[in-house]
Structure formats: structure tokens, C-alpha cells
Chains A and B, each alone.
Chain A
């Protein structure tokens, strides 16, 4: 009788690591990992050795010593007697301000340009094509310098605003555009103004509630509320009412010429304007292309189907096209926001005091701690980018195609 035997088990041989497809990939990965680790060890060791040869060590104590320099744009109070760490924080805040405002403006311009580039109007479409190509095919640094040069060379000096001078304030004497920056009125918060602010915040929350109610009502009964007009009324009316009831607690401090410069009002520095506009314009060109590709990715059949059901064109865009286009738009948009944030480190070119200029510039220079400063700078940009991308990924997962 025949005995059933298992097929002979092949014992593992060392040569299989190289010649057997089942194990080869593992071998390659292990070797690669070892090589990469050796490279890293060598890199760190080389750095430490070279620093030791120069007689330098790696220490972060400099962060707590007196900075000794002044910073012009400060969102939190800073004097030259504060520490380098605080100077770094001032710089970080300046970076974040320009990055956030840049992302907002870039998105607005980018969406407009992207939609208009698809316009059936020949002239509008061509102008937008020209805009997009001109912006994205020239280096960002050039745009920063161009905007800065325009702001400093083509605008009047503060002394030209004196009586008999060649320049004057615009918008009912409230805004001064000078070669040191744009001065706008500053709101003065008197007693009772907090109530006005509270009313304003409540009405903004109210608008969101209204939108939800309207949507539910439409789904239940099919009736459409005039959401936009109601929101507009809710946005302005309660706040204005509270403002007058409380006896106008919020007043404006106008910029006035005093001494050498404008005193009073808020100064928006030219370096900030140059960086903000240039970053926004440059990134908006890329966003425009992303938006265009997103809209084109939605098949024409969707529009035709919506029209066949009798849905109006603007609601077709709002309810059918845009939600589908967003799925295509959001992922590359994340990269553009990250790019904009990191590109803001070009601020040094126009003397905007971002974190690269304070921690990565003056602090490094005055303390001689290049490696430590650059490490901290790298960690800051890394963390910021990770936060932005996780926030955007969260948003992306809320709009992406849900398979049920």
C-alpha cells in the first residue's frame, strides 16, 4: 500500500536570501536600512567631530540670554531686553500671520482665477491664462522684490503728507499709503464695546444655525428660504443695533502725522504687504490650476443631468459640481498651503521679521549658534506643516467620496 507522504520540506538555505524571490526583497530592505543608518551615524558623528575641532559644542542656553535687538512688527510686546526665545516667538507669530492671511487671500484669488479661466468669454479666459502663466513661471523672490519696490519707490514719504505736500490721506482721511507702510484707523474699545462684540459673535453663530434650519426645511418640505439675504441681515443688523444702543462705544483712532512718521492708527508695514501680496499672488496661480482641474474633472453628464431635472445653473454649481470638484481640489491644495507657509521664509529679502529673520537670522548672528538655530527652525517648520496638513486632511475626509 502506498503511504501518503507530505512533499519533502525544503530546508532553508542561506543562498535563498539572494536567489529566492520570496526572501530577496527582505534582504534588500535590511541591507538598505543598515546603509541608511550608517550614513546617519556618520553624518551626526562628522558634525560633532567638526564642531569639536572648532571648539564648539551644541547648547541651547543662548535662548534664555538677552536678545539685545529690536523687532519692528511685534504681535506680543518685545523689547531689546527680552530673551532670544521670546524674539523667536515674536518671529513665529509674524510667520503665522503672513502664512494664514496668505493662504486665505491665495485661495480667494486662486478660486476666482480658476473659475474665470473656464469662462466662455474669450477675453476673460485669456487674461486669466496670462495671469496664471506669468505668476507661476517666474520665481517668487522676484515678485516679492517687485511688490516691495513698488511700495517703497512709488508711494509718497510721510513728510509729503504735511500741509502743502503732494500727498493726502484717502477714504475720508482715514487711510495713508506711504513708503513706510499703509496706516489704517485703529478701533478704540471703550466700556460696553465687549457687548457689541458678543452680539456680533452670537449673530455669526446664528447664521450657521439658520443655514442648518434652512437645509433641514428644504429636505423636509422642499421650500427654500432666502438664506443669503437673511444671513446678510443677521450679520449687520443686531451688531449695529447694539452699537447704537450702547452709545457708540467703539471709536476709530485716525492716523495722524506726528514728528517724523504717522502716529496713531495701525501701521501695516511695506515688508509685510510685499510678502503677503507676493506669496498670495504666486500661490494663487497654482491654486487656480488646481481649481480648474477639479471643475473639469466633474463629467459634463452631471451638469446635463442636473439641468434635465430642472435645477438652476447656480445651484447646479453649488450642489452638484462643487462638492464633487472639492474631492479633486483639496489634496493638491494642501501642498500649496504648505508651500506658501514655507515660502514665507523668503521674508528676509524685504526685512520682514519672521522666524527666519529673528531666530534664524539675527539670533544666530549675534550668538554664533548656527546649528542649534537652524535645527529649531527646521523643527518649527516641520511641526507647522504637519499641523496644516493634518487639519486639511481632516477637512478632506469630510468632503471625500463616502462609499456606503
Chain B
């Protein structure tokens, strides 16, 4: 009898191991909340506010997905991950989706068995220095000490850029943005390098932000986007198309203010109708109901609203749209047709 119990336990363990790989959508629905891997604290992108509620650009996308899938933008469990632990946490199933300033690269998309589902922020790596050290270009950084988050693409870009330009430097590895900020402010490193959006966000939290400059050189392409586990295409579609819905909504002028009005009845624009579910059955094709996109937009607003509210020029972070403008405005945002 003992033997039977043991074999039974083995079978259950084997089945559980097999089942965890697929059907994230069912897991999320059964759990009633979305587990979103987020930054451990980067102002404007992902950080808890004074009331302990997570706010930010990346956080909004998590909330949009939760609104689309579960109908509740607050049904998100944020799992703060360091740059070192993020991919392992996603691969191990600790989070359903990773939206954490993560750069879409070839090896991450293939060898790490992740799937990047679009780009929510086009970024590039830059350098921040104190304005009083008298440096105006990254080429003048020879002999400096550079603080850098380990496990990031920035670490590799830095090594490449400085090697190609024959610049010697001393890397000081730090684990988190907070640690890098503390070391940089203490003067333990001359330069802090990460994505320019991250530099701007970090500088915005400084007491004397004007004493620090971000050098003009952008040394890499850093398309930041949401990532899911490889092999669950249905779930990947939901994440990717929720992002597309927010981008398309801005293009068609759908905002959080007018979305309820526009989705009540079919409008003259068939694209808006298909997006908001008043025409066609797009929602059913990804395993959701027809109001999924309308709920996401109602919860967080369209891409432009999310940008301006969290990191736009009116905020302390003050990032311009730049590459992240709609293609119609000369940017790179180009949502595939909802059809």
C-alpha cells in the first residue's frame, strides 16, 4: 500500500511539473490576480507611492493587462525583482509577465526562452556625471569609475563602447538602482550609467538635480518591453495586444475620458469599433470578452496619457516623447491593425 501511495505522489508531482508550463491565462483567472514582475523602485516607471500603491509607466501596463483579463485594474500583485533575478523569476513562473525596463535582445528572446511582446519604451544607454567635473562628452571619461547595475545589457554595452573608443575605466558593480544612486551621490563613482529614462528618473529624485548632467551620447539601442515565458503564445498575444490597444487608442483619439462613450455604441470609425468591441469578435480570438480593450483604456488611459502622467514633460522626470511618439508624429509607435 505504501508503494502505491509513493507512486501516486510521483505521478502527481510529474503532472504538476508538466502543467505549470502552459495556460498562464487560466492560472491568472483562477488566482483572480495578475503577478507582475516590476522594478524594485524607479520613480516614474515603477515605485509605490505614499499610500503604498504602485504607480508608474510600467505599472500602468500591468494594470491595463489586469483590467483586460480580470476586469479589475487593482487585481495586480507586484513582485519587485532586481536586474539579476528578473528573468529567472519569470522562467520559474513566479510572475506571469515581466514589465521591468527590460531590453529586448536576441539572446534573451531565444536562448533565455522568453518572448518579448512589443516595445513600450524606446530607450538608449546614457551617462550621468556631476556638472562640476567638467566633462561634456562620454569620450572624455577616460580613467573614471563607473557605477553599473549588474546583469543588465548596459553592463555589456559599456564594456563594448569603452573598448571600441579606447577608454579605460573601473567598473563598480551595484545590485539595484537605489544602491547605484547612493554610491554615485557619495562620490564612490564619477559616472552612473543606465538607460537614459532611468537616469532622468533617478536624477529627478536628487536634492540638487541641476548639479548633474546627462551626457549627450546615446551608446546603445534599448527597446524596453513586456516579456512572457516562451511557449505560451495565447498569453503572449494578450500581453502584446493590450500594449497595442493602448498605442492604437492614442492614435485614434480614444482616451480614458471618452472611452465609455465611444464603446457604448458603434462609431463612424470601424477601427475604433473593432478595438472597443462594438464591431467584430476580436476579444474572443484571444480568449477574452469583447470589452477587454475598452476596460484597459478606461483603467489607465491610452499610451499618451500613461506617458504624460508618469514620465512626461509635466512631471519631475520630464522626458520628451522623442522616439516614443506615434508614427504619425515622427516617432516609432506603430500599432498593428486591429482587424
Contacts and interface: CB of A to CB of B under 8 A. Distances in A.
Contacts of A263: 143
Interface in B150-208: 150-151, 155-156, 158-160, 163, 169-175, 183, 186-190
A270 B142 CA distance: 21
Given A80-B160, A261-B170, A49 B17 contact: yes
Contact of A361 (B21, B151, B169, B187): B151
A70 B167 CA distance: 13
A198 B172 CA distance: 38
A54 B151 contact: no
B35 interface: no
B139 interface: no
Contacts of A260: 133, 143-145, 190
Contacts of A68: 156, 159-160
B150 A361 contact: yes
A54 B91 contact: yes
Interface string A359-373: 001100111101000
A79 interface: yes
A42 interface: yes
B156 A72 contact: no
A353 B142 contact: no
A365 B151 CA distance: 5
A245 B312 CA distance: 73
Contact of B151 (A38, A42, A259, A362): A362
A362 B155 contact: yes
Among A56, A180, A258, A351, residue most surrounded by chain B Cβ atoms (within 10 Å): A351
A168 interface: no
A50 B144 contact: no
B144 A351 contact: no
Interface string A152-178: 110001010000000000000000000
Interface residues of A, number: 42
Nearest to A71: B171
A83 to B, nearest CB: 14
A366 B190 contact: no
Name B's interface SS.
mixed
Interface stretch (B6-14, B40-48, B236-244): B6-14
A348 interface: yes
B20 interface: yes
Contacts of B23: none
Contacts of B108: 368
A364 to B, nearest CB: 8
Given A54-B21, A261-B143, A80 B163 contact: yes
B251 to A, nearest CB: 35
A370 B88 contact: yes
Nearest to A62: B111
A53 B18 contact: yes
A42 B10 contact: yes
B151 A258 contact: no
A268 B151 CA distance: 24
A368 B14 contact: no
Interface string A221-263: 0000000000000000000000000000000000000111101
Contacts of A353: 173
B159 A70 contact: yes
B174 A351 contact: yes
A267 B76 CA distance: 47
A259 B143 contact: yes
Contacts of A159: 133, 187
Interface in A261-279: 261, 263, 270-271
Nearest to B19: A53
Contact of A180 (B20, B21, B145, B229): B145
B315 interface: no
Nearest to A153: B186
A370 B88 CA distance: 8
Given A72-B170, A361-B151, A365-B150, A42 B21 contact: no
Contacts of A366: 107, 151, 155-156
Contact of B230 (A50, A55, A71, A367): A55
B84 interface: yes
Contacts of A81: 163
A354 B111 CA distance: 26
Contacts of A293: none
A131 interface: no
B310 to A, nearest CB: 27
B187 A157 contact: yes
A93 to B, nearest CB: 17
Contact of B18 (A49, A71, A367): A49
Closest 6 CB pairs of A and B: A365-B151, A80-B159, A368-B112, A259-B143, A157-B187, A53-B21
Interface of A: 38, 42, 46, 49-50, 53-56, 68-72, 79-81, 152-153, 157, 159, 179-180, 258-261, 263, 270-271, 348-349, 351, 353, 357, 361-362, 365-368, 370
